[in-house]
Amino acid sequence: MSTNLIIQNIEKHIRLTEAEQQYFVSLLVEKNLKRKQLILAEGDVCKYSTFVVTGCLRGYTIDKNGFEHVLNFAPTNWWIADMYSLLSQKPGILHIEALENSTVLMLSKEDHLNLYEKIPAFERYFRILIENALVALQQRMIDSMSLTADERYQKFCTTYPSLINSLPQKQIASFIGVTPEFLSKLRGQQIKKKI
């Protein structure tokens, strides 16, 4: 199982003994996903937090007109879940899909709670993750109301530098709230500025 990356991620925030690391790793389920494979569909109850070892996942909704709206991306070394569904254990609102062949580590809701009991330091770790996610979501909402499309694209490039050239343009456009055609014009203007 590919656990070095997740242990490094955790140890940025908390220190674990060897026994605690082994216990944590024993709770994880490794899964290999094919491109376009869903690990969660709207209406399903989210039972896992998912850590991306390799590849990239996205969380998105589909509106009543059939348009997709990307809420977030989870490249290598990021976590993803439908937080509403995971915490409430009610049917979710997100689809979570692999954008490319990916390897993930999944931690069930039940094991997550057991982890808090056996290794209380994990409450700190996941609190930090949730706080960071809340701040990022708030900033994204403010950005969508106050930044121009060009500024939102620049912010995307800063936040997800590894995804700029690997994601389809329509995914990036959906995330920043523009059409793919408009994003193409933005990119063209930036290339002209650099020349």
Q: Return all residues near 61 (Cβ < 8 A) that are at least 6 apart.
A: 42, 68, 69, 71, 93, 94, 95
Q: In sequence order, which ranges of 40-120 are alpha helices (DSSP H)?
A: 83-88, 109-118
Split into its structural domains, the chain has a count of: 1
Q: Return all residues near 23 (Cβ < 8 A) that are at least 6 apart.
A: 118, 119
Model pLDDT for residues 68-87, shown as the tens digit of each residue:
999 999 999 999 999 999 99
| Predicted pLDDT at 30 | 96
Mean of pLDDT values over 129-148: 92
Tell me the C-alpha distance between 96 and 157, whole Å: 22
- 34 within a domain of the structure (yes/no): yes
3-state DSSP helix/strand/coil % of the chain, to nearest 5: 50, 25, 30
Model pLDDT for residues 93-105, shown as the tens digit of each residue:
999 999 999 999 9
Q: State the pLDDT confidence band at 195, using cuts at 50, 70 and 90.
A: low
Domain of 9: which CATH number? 2.60.120.10
Q: Return all residues near 41 (Cβ < 8 A) that are at least 6 apart.
A: 95
- 157 within a domain of the structure (yes/no): no
Give the residue numbers spanning the domain of 73.
4-120
- 173 within a domain of the structure (yes/no): no
- 37 within a domain of the structure (yes/no): yes
- 45 within a domain of the structure (yes/no): yes
Model pLDDT for residues 57-68, shown as the tens digit of each residue:
999 999 999 989
The phi, psi pair for 128, rounded to 5°, reads: -60, -45
- 176 within a domain of the structure (yes/no): no
- 46 within a domain of the structure (yes/no): yes
- 55 within a domain of the structure (yes/no): yes
| N-terminal to C-terminal alpha carbon distance within the chain | 46
